[in-house]
Amino acid sequence: MIIRILMLAGLAAIGWLVFLRRNRLPIHIVIVFGLLAAGGWAVLFPEQTDDIANYVGVGRGVDLITYIFEVAALFTLVHYYTKFVELQRQLTDLTREMAILRAEVERAQKPPAS
């Protein structure tokens, strides 16, 4: 039973963190708490995940959760990679603008050397 307490404590901690940073859209909070509730339910009644798994055509609840986790992990990966590339592009634009601006300021400050 120790594992259940640990799992529930972990979920509760995530819920608390989300609650603290509640400057997001209400729909995000609803979704996060929905997911947390589903997690808590799966911790308390693991055998019921088998029923859902059977319903969608998977043998065991454990497998179903693993599949969902894998898809979610891949989605997160792609999401953050896209963000990363976009950030890098912005960083390049910013750096470039800075370099050009500085050169133009330097040029304006001293008379053009021939």
Partner 1 sequence: MAGANADTHVVIAAFKEGKVIRGVVAEVVAAGYPVIVVDDGSPDDTAAAARMAGVSVLRHPINLGQGAALQTGIDYALRRGARHIVTFDADGQHSVEDIPDLIAALTHADIALGSRFLGKDAIGVGARRKALLRTATLVSNKLSGLKLTDAHCGLRAFRATVAPALRITQDRMAHASELLRKIQKSGLRVVEVPVTVKYTEHSKQKGQGGFQAIRILFDYFFRPS
Stretch that binds partner 1, among 7-15, 31-39, 70-78, 83-91 (CB under 8 A): 83-91
Maximum C-alpha span of the chain: 83
Stretch that binds partner 1, among 16-24, 31-39, 71-79, 82-90 (CB under 8 A): 82-90
Among 85, 90, 105, 109, binds partner 1 (CB under 8 A): 85
Based on the shown chain and the rule CB under 8 A, indicate whether residue 12 belongs to the binding site for partner 1.
Answer: no
Backbone angles phi, psi at 66, to 5 degrees: -60, -45
DSSP assignment of 48-99: HHHHHHHHHT-S-HHHHHHHHHHHHHHHHHHHHHHHHHHHHHHHHHHHHHHH
> At closest approach, how far in Å is the CB of 79 from partner 1?
14
Q: Which residues bind partner 1 (CB under 8 A)?
A: 85, 88-89, 91-92, 95-96, 98-100, 102-104, 107, 113-114
